[in-house]
C-alpha cells in the first residue's frame, strides 16, 4: 500500500491540494494552493497509536466516513459502453459490465473522507476504523439542532464506531 496521503479541493479554485507529510507527527499548520495561491490553515487531529485516523488531518473534525475510492466517471463510462454495445452482443455486454464493475469495486482501495471539509485520506492504517457514510451525521452537521434526525455526536467521533444501521 502506498504511503498515507491527504488531499482536499481548494475552496477558491477547486484544484486538488495535497497536504505534505500528512501522516507525520508534525503536519504543516497551513497549506498553499499551487494553482491560485490560496492559503488554508490546518488544524489536524492527532493520529492513533496505530497511525490510524482519530479525526480529519485537515480541519481536525472527529467524524469521518469510509468509502471506496472508485472513480464515478469510470463506473458510468463502463455502463455507457456496455449499453451502446448491447444490441450487437445479445446484451452480454451488460452482464460483462456488471461483472467488471463488481471486480473494480472489490479491488478498489478505500479512502476516508471528512464530513465537514471533504478532505480525502488515503492509505492510513484502518485501525481505528471509520464506518461508511451516515446520513444522520451529515444532516446534524449541516442543519445543527434543527435536524430532525440529529443525534448528538458520539464521544471520540467516528473512530471505531459501529456501521450505520440504515
Ligand atoms: Zn486554489
Ligand atoms: Zn475536515
pLDDT at 147: 63
Answer yes or no: is 163 within a domain.
no
Q: How far apart are CA 68 and CA 52, in angstroms?
A: 17
Give the C-alpha separation, 29 to 19, whole Å. 10
Compute the distance between CA of residue 120 and CA of residue 126 in angstroms, rounded to an integer.
14
Q: Is residue 78 part of a domain?
A: yes
What range does the domain containing 99 cover? 72-104
- Does residue 17 belong to any structural domain of this protein? no
Ligand nearest to the CA of 64: 2
In a domain, 35, yes or no: no
Which ligand has an atom closest to residue 11 CA?
A: 1
The DSSP element (H or E) to which 118 belongs, if any, is: none
Q: In the numeric block, which cell numbers belong to residue 89?
A: 452482443
What is the per-residue pLDDT across 26-45, written as a single tens digit (0 to 9) for each?
A: 788 999 999 999 999 999 99
pLDDT tens digits, 122-131 = 999 999 999 9
- Is residue 158 a part of any domain in this protein? no
Output the 3-class SS for 135-148.
HHHHHHHHHHHHCC
The ligand with the least distance to the CA atom of 34 is 1
Q: Report the run of H or E that residue 113 belongs to, with start and end.
A: strand 110-114
Number of domains in the chain: 1
Q: Do the domain assignments include residue 148?
A: no
Q: What is the DSSP letter of 151?
A: -
Taking the centre of ligand 2 as the mean of its atom positions, its distance from the CA of residue 57, in whole angstroms, is 7
CA–centroid distance, 122 to ligand 1, in Å, is: 21
Q: Within a domain: residue 64?
A: no
Measure 153 CA to ligand 2 centroid, in angstroms. 15
Confidence of residue 24 (pLDDT cuts 50, 70, 90): confident
Q: What's the 77 CA to ligand 2 centre distance in angstroms?
A: 30
Q: Which tens digit of pLDDT belongs to each residue from 58-113?
A: 999 999 999 988 777 888 899 899 999 999 999 999 999 999 888 888 888 899 99
Amino acid at each position: 500500500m502506498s504511503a498515507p496521503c491527504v488531499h482536499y479541493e481548494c475552496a477558491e479554485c477547486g484544484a486538488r491540494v495535497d497536504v505534505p507529510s500528512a501522516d507525520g507527527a508534525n503536519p504543516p499548520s497551513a497549506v498553499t494552493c499551487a494553482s491560485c495561491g490560496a492559503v488554508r490553515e490546518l488544524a489536524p487531529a492527532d493520529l492513533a497509536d496505530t497511525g490510524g485516523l482519530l479525526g480529519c488531518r485537515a480541519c481536525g473534525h472527529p467524524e469521518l466516513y469510509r468509502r471506496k475510492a472508485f472513480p464515478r466517471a469510470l463506473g458510468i463510462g463502463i455502463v455507457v459502453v456496455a449499453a451502446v454495445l448491447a444490441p450487437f452482443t445479445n446484451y452480454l455486454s451488460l452482464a460483462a459490465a456488471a461483472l467488471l464493475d463488481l471486480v473494480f469495486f472489490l479491488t478498489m482501495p478505500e479512502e476516508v473522507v471528512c464530513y465537514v471539509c471533504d478532505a480525502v485520506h488515503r492509505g492510513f492504517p484502518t485501525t481505528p476504523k471509520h464506518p461508511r457514510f451516515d446520513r444522520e451525521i451529515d444532516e446534524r452537521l449541516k442543519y445543527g439542532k434543527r435536524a430532525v434526525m440529529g443525534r448528538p455526536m458520539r464521544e471520540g467521533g467516528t473512530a471505531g464506531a459501529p456501521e450505520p444501521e440504515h
